[in-house]
């Protein structure tokens, strides 16, 4: 079973925001009432935390990192790590928004059984949610591709700061820096940046993030399917389901006869099979589905 991230579907023209959002929330409340819910989240849940996404209406064009690009040359990796050295700090400073906090509250009351996230921003964990399956990894770890050695991103940052004295302040002194959803930053002048190799084997180190063109670990995929199977409903939040790594779970829930609801700005690849779709911000919709409004299953 291959579980590669693929690029190849772009949403159609942006859909209109649901104007009667209260009525739509009432419908979602009725759909989820008394059911055990597992959430599948994407970048759209984190935009109100200051982390951009790739495909919501109005998002600027961005090219996601691919594994082929990362492995193509030492020069490209140096350029990537220089940008990441700045971008990861922005992601690390981000804080959960109302949508993340709502899911944590749902879990506390027994409504939410777990979260499968396509995000690498760790905001669900920061919000206090437990049983979070990070399908695409997270920004906070760095791994050697040869020997599997691990280091925290904070510790690596300290080592890179020591090797690249003044780099961060020099680049930031030129003005605002655009940050991408995968903790990359848009800068050009990286010629003097120094990167480290694995101290154990000398291999290539890479953020513990699944890049486009890279396989999602099969044990994670199996665990995610199990989480969907254990629930009565799948709620997709902030994802266009462009890549198969997320779409497969929506299709699986639909085939299994489970309720499928979507809260997302813009079109998704599962709109045609969803029981309910709300085109609105997750940070608006989710907090209104409080424990007093949606009952957990007995």
Q: Examine the pLDDT at 261 and tell me if it is beyond 50.
A: yes
What does the alpha-carbon distance between residue 290 and residue 273 come to, in Å, rounded to a whole number? 26
CATH superfamily of 62-93+137-209: SIR2/SIRT2 'Small Domain' (3.30.1600.10)
Mean pLDDT of 283-296: 74
The one catalytic residue in 79, 100, 124, 136 is 136
Helical spans, DSSP H, in the chain: 21-32, 67-71, 74-93, 98-108, 123-126, 153-163, 167-172, 218-230, 244-255, 282-285
Average predicted confidence (pLDDT) for the chain? 86
The two three-digit tokens of residue 212, written as one number: 């486009």
Q: Examine the pLDDT at 63 and tell me if it is beyond 70.
A: no
Q: Examine the pLDDT at 58 and tell me if it is beyond 80.
A: no
Active site includes 90? Answer: no
Q: Residue 155: what pLDDT? A: 95
Instruction: Specify binding-site residues for NAD(+).
Output: 42-62, 118-121, 238-240, 264-266, 282
Instruction: Specify binding-site residues for Zn(2+).
Output: 144, 147, 198, 201
Instruction: Specify binding-site residues.
Output: 42-62, 118-121, 144, 147, 198, 201, 238-240, 264-266, 282
Q: What is the pLDDT of residues 97-107, one digit of tens each?
A: 999 999 999 99
pLDDT greater at residue 245 or residue 133 = 133
- With beta carbons less than 8 A apart as the criterion, state whether 48 and 286 touch: no
Neighbours of 169 (CB within 10 A): 8
Q: Residue 291: what pLDDT? A: 44
Mean pLDDT of 259-270: 96
Is the domain covering 1-51+96-136+216-298 a CATH 3.20.20.140 domain?
no
Q: What is the pLDDT of residues 160-191, one digit of tens each?
A: 999 999 887 777 655 445 566 566 666 666 77
Q: Which of 117, 110, 94, 96 is nearest to 237 (CA)?
A: 117
- With beta carbons less than 8 A apart as the criterion, state whether 258 and 35 touch: no
Q: Which residues pair with 37 in a beta bridge?
A: 112, 233
What does the alpha-carbon distance between residue 266 and residue 56 come to, in Å, rounded to a whole number? 6
- With beta carbons less than 8 A apart as the criterion, state whether 236 and 40 touch: yes
- With beta carbons less than 8 A apart as the criterion, state whether 233 and 249 touch: no
Q: Which residues pair with 259 in a beta bridge?
A: 233
Q: What is the pLDDT of residues 5-42, one digit of tens each?
A: 444 444 444 445 556 888 999 999 999 999 999 999 99
Q: End-to-end alpha-carbon separation of the chain, Å?
A: 36
What is the DSSP secondary-structure string of 146-192? TT--EEEHHHHHHHHHHHSTTHHHHHHTTS---B-TTS-B-----TT
pLDDT greater at residue 18 or residue 84 = 84
- With beta carbons less than 8 A apart as the criterion, state whether 142 and 208 touch: yes
pLDDT band at 192 (very low <50, low <70, confident <90, very high): confident
User: Where exactly are the structural domains of the chain?
Assistant: 1-51+96-136+216-298, 62-93+137-209
Q: Examine the pLDDT at 294 and tell me if it is beyond 80.
A: no
pLDDT greater at residue 125 or residue 186 = 125
Q: Examine the pLDDT at 281 and tell me if it is beyond 80.
A: yes
């Amino acid at each position: 079973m291959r579980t590669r991230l693929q690029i190849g579907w772009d949403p159609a023209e942006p859909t209109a925001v649901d104007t009667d959002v209260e009525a739509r929330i009432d419908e979602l409340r009725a759909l989820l009432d008394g059911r055990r819910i597992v959430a599948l989240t994407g970048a759209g849940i984190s935009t109100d935390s200051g982390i951009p996404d790739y495909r919501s209406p109005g998002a600027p064009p961005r090219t996601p990192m691919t594994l082929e690009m990362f492995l193509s040359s030492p020069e490209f990796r140096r350029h990537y790590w220089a940008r990441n050295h700045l971008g990861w700090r922005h992601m690390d400073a981000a804080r959960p928004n109302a949508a993340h906090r709502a899911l944590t509250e749902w879990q506390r009351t027994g409504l939410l059984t777990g979260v499968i996230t396509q995000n690498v921003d760790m905001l669900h964990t920061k919000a206090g949610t437990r049983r979070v399956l990070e399908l695409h990894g997270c920004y906070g770890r760095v791994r050697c591709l040869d020997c599997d050695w691990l280091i925290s991103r904070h510790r690596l940052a300290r080592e890179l700061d020591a090797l690249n004295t003044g780099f961060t302040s020099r680049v930031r002194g030129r003005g605002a820096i655009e940050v991408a959803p995968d903790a990359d930053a848009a800068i050009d002048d990286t010629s003097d940046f120094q990167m480290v190799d694995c101290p154990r084997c000398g291999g290539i180190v890479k953020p513990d993030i699944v890049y486009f063109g890279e396989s999602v670990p099969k044990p994670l995929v199996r665990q995610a399917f199990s989480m969907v199977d254990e629930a009565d409903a799948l709620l997709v939040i902030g994802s266009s389901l462009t890549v198969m790594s997320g779409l497969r779970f929506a299709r699986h829930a639909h085939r299994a006869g489970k309720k499928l609801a979507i809260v997302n700005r813009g079109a998704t690849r599962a709109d045609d099979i969803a029981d309910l779709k709300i085109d609105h911000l997750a940070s608006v919709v989710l907090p209104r589905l409080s424990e007093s409004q949606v009952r957990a299953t007995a």
